Each structure stands twice: as structure tokens, then as C-alpha cells.
Amino acid sequence: MIQFQYLEHKAEGAVLLVRLSRAPVNAVNDAMYTEIRELFSTVDRVAPEANAVVLTGTGKHFCGGNDLDEFLSMDSASARDRMFHVREAFFAIQDCAVPVIGAVHGAALGTGLAIAASCDIVVASADARFGLPEITVGVMGGAAHLARLVPQPMVRRMFFTGEPVSAAELYRVGGIDQVVERDALEETALALAAKIARHSPTALRVAKTALNAVESMDLKPGYELEQGWTGWLSDHPDSKEAIRSSRERREPHYLPPHPATRTWTAADAAKS
């Protein structure tokens, strides 16, 4: 496992708190992309007890974007390899084994917005700003991630103008779950993560895989796929424990995550 230079992380019970940490604005360089990919793709090794992750930033801003010095040294010959590392980092957050809550403050621009949009849920402080200034620095990217948060006309307005919007505006269109004062942001995100993390570790990991799979599917095949996961879970002890504990009005006692959930695929669910 690599040593993390730009990511602070610590367990808070069943929640893993991760902070982007590269002063002054947490701009992401190639090494930091590698760290993001490594941590989020191996979260069950980094924090075996974690059932949810909160991702935030140190300092005044969540993430000011990509390191512009790396853009200056990029050309068409090197772009392919560099862009591979960028998207693998974003995809690792989206495909993380457990739900990820982004806690955004200050600027979330370019790469910062894509990181936030790769999370399952976003909460933000009132001072947060979200933007895709890519066109202003001669690059492309991030529009597909932004489309997870806002309607397509807003995607195009933000991309073509390069101008950021407030947390309040994203909340208005449903892209943000909550907007809170800055000093309450981390506490709010951790409380939400704790509500998630109390559920069965196996069920949460199956649910994360299922939601990622059905996000781009039509309703009928998507629901059929979800039913496949229901069939698989029905044989797991946690499924019955959830029912019994609810009936008996007591705290459930769940097993550690089932190893199969780490390699479980849509094709497996379809066979169930």
C-alpha cells in the first residue's frame, strides 16, 4: 500500500474521514490522483471497519482544481496517459465499495467539482462555489460529472461561461443534499454518514454496486437487476437479522462484509 502524502484519513467509528491536503487550495497533481485512486479502490483494506466515507478538504477550499503547472507541460502525446490517471481517480470514488459523502466548502472547481460529483451525496457550506472553468484554461472535461448534479441546460451554461455557481443554486436544483454553515459542515457530513454506516456492511456494499449499475438503466431492466441482488441477499444472515431486529425493536448485530460483494457484478445479479 502506498504512503499517503496528500490525503489525511482517520476512522470515526464506522465512518472513514478523508481530507484532501495539498496547500494552498488542494489543487490535484498526478501523485495526488494516484493517492485518490489507491485509497478509494482499497477502502476495505485502508479502513476495514468503515461502512461509509466522508470526503472533504483542508484549508479554505475543498479543491481548486487541477494543478495548472501540469496542464502547461501537457501536449497531445502525453495527454492520453495523464487523462487516464485523472479518470481512474474519479472512477475510484464513484466505485468505492461503500457510500461516499462529499463535504464541500469554498471552491470546488474543475477537478474539485468532478470529485464532488463522483460522491454519492454532497453536503456543502454556504460559502461553497461549484464551477467548471475548463474552457477558460484551454481544456475539456467534467460536464458528464456535473450532469449528475444539475439539469443539462445548467451544465451547458456553467461549461460555456466557465463561471461558478453557489451552493444555494445547486441546492435549488437538487444537486446538493444540505447547505449548512461552514463550522457545521464536517459534523453534518459525519452525522449523515453515521446514519448510513449503521446498516449491514454487506447490504451497503451490494446497494452501492446496485445503485451504480442502475443509474444509467431504464426502469424495467434496472428494477429487474435490483431484484437479482434481493435474491442474493435473501440467503445472507444479515437479511434475516435486519427483519428480526426491527420486529424485536433492538439494535441489529451484523456480520463483517461478505467477500463476494467486492467482486459482485451486474451479471451475477442477473443470474439470481
Q: Model confidence at 1, in pLDDT bands (50, 70, 90)?
A: low
Tell me which DSSP letter residue 234 carries.
T
**Considering only CA atoms, which of 175, 200, 173 is closest in space to residue 119?**
175
98 close to 190: Cβ distance less than 8 angstroms? no
pLDDT tens by residue, 51-95 = 999 999 999 999 999 987 766 676 676 667 777 889 999 999 999
pLDDT exceeds 90 at position 202: yes
Tell which wins on pLDDT, 78 or 9.
Answer: 9
> Helices 219-233 and 201-214: crossing angle, nearest 10°?
160
Tell which wins on pLDDT, 73 or 270.
Answer: 73
Q: How many whole angstroms separate alpha carbon 223 and alpha carbon 219? A: 6
What is the pLDDT at residue 77? 67
- Considering the chain, what percentage of its residues have pLDDT values greater than 90? 80
Tell which wins on pLDDT, 84 or 5.
Answer: 5
> Helices 201-214 and 237-248: crossing angle, nearest 10°?
110
Q: Model confidence at 145, in pLDDT bands (50, 70, 90)?
A: very high
Domains of the chain: 7-197 (3.90.226.10), 201-271 (1.10.12)
133 close to 64: Cβ distance less than 8 angstroms? no
Provide the mean pLDDT of the chain.
91
pLDDT tens by residue, 211-241 = 999 999 999 999 999 999 999 899 999 999 9
Q: What is the pTM of this model?
A: 0.92
